[in-house]
Amino acid sequence: MTTSAWWRRGATTVAALTLVLAPTAAPAAAAAVPPATSAATAQHRQLPEPPPADQARTELDELVVEAPHSMEGYSRDRFPHWVQQYGTCDTREVVLARDGQDVVQDDQCRAVSGTWVSPYDDKTFTDAKALDIDHLVPLAASWRAGADTWTTDKRRAFANDLAHSQLVAVSAASNRAKADKGPDAWRPPLRSYWCTYSRAWTDIKHLYGLTVTESEKTALVEMLDTCA
């Protein structure tokens, strides 16, 4: 896949990623979550749904299978995040507002109350500090799969992608247990989430033209087989 191919999914996708690359574009961002005001209740939005299992299987078959790239030169700083989306709201706060229920933000857009259910382990939280925003395909994993050749703009878009199922609010414990592991080394403890997780992982890799290893592909096939 060429560098330009990851823009392919029409005007909606382009607009959403433009928001990431130009975070000061307030009119486009306003459609995501209203700007926070003191004690404001954020609008709840669902995590972008990954493609159905049949499409994910097709995408998986189209991914290049190869050995992981070297980690030489890797740094999380090579993937600028969390970027400002609008006003004082950065990507983390937008995801917290999107993935929670009855989320109240202060005048700095910080989530001060709400309820979140971590999809990885089905644990419920009422304190945003107990949550991490997980890059479903980790930054280090993407580096090993081709992001080492990307421009900074593309890495910024990947690390702040609100248009696809790349970012999700999860328990800090599950996120840290996962670290930068692929599906062949770590899977969500909640087995019923394997279908969604594998569909999202495959779609993100396909969208951004990333590669997979043989063991990773085998694990994704097994997880896709759990889809009803």
pTM of the model: 0.82
Whole-angstrom distance, CA of residue 132 vs CA of residue 96 = 9
Bridge pairing between strands 111-118 and 101-105? antiparallel
Domain count for the chain, please give it. 1
**What pLDDT does 169 receive?**
97
Q: Give, as one character, the DSSP assignment of residue 182.
A: -
For the chain, the C-alpha Rg in angstroms (whole number) is 17
User: Which helix or strand (DSSP H or E) is residue 116 part of?
Assistant: strand 111-118
Whole-angstrom distance, CA of residue 169 vs CA of residue 188 = 13
CA 147 and chain centroid, separation: 15
What are the tens digits of pLDDT across the range 122-147? Answer: 999 999 999 999 999 999 999 999 99
User: Is residue 31 pLDDT above 80, yes or no?
Assistant: no
Q: Give, as one character, the DSSP assignment of residue 152.
A: H
∠ CA 97-99-101, rounded to 5°: 75
Q: Give, as one character, the DSSP assignment of residue 7.
A: G
Helices (H), the chain: 10-21, 26-29, 53-62, 91-99, 139-144, 152-159, 172-178, 194-207, 214-224
Whole-angstrom distance, CA of residue 102 vs CA of residue 113 = 8
Query: How large a percentage of the chain has pLDDT more than 70?
Result: 80
Tell me if residue 165 falls in helix, strand or coil: coil
**What pLDDT does 20 receive?**
35
Query: For 192, how many CA atoms within 13 A lie in the half-sphere containing its CB?
Result: 4
Residue 192: give the domain boundaries. Answer: 3-224
Which residue has better confidence, 61 or 39? 61
Bridge pairing between strands 123-125 and 131-135? unpaired
For residue 46, name the pLDDT band (cuts at 50, 70, 90): low
b/e map 128-156, b = 16+ CB within 10 Å: beebbbbbbbbbbbbbbbbbbebeeebbb
**What pLDDT does 14 receive?**
31
What are the tens digits of pLDDT across the range 50-102? Answer: 999 999 999 999 999 999 999 999 999 999 999 999 999 999 999 999 999 99
Tell me if residue 124 falls in helix, strand or coil: strand
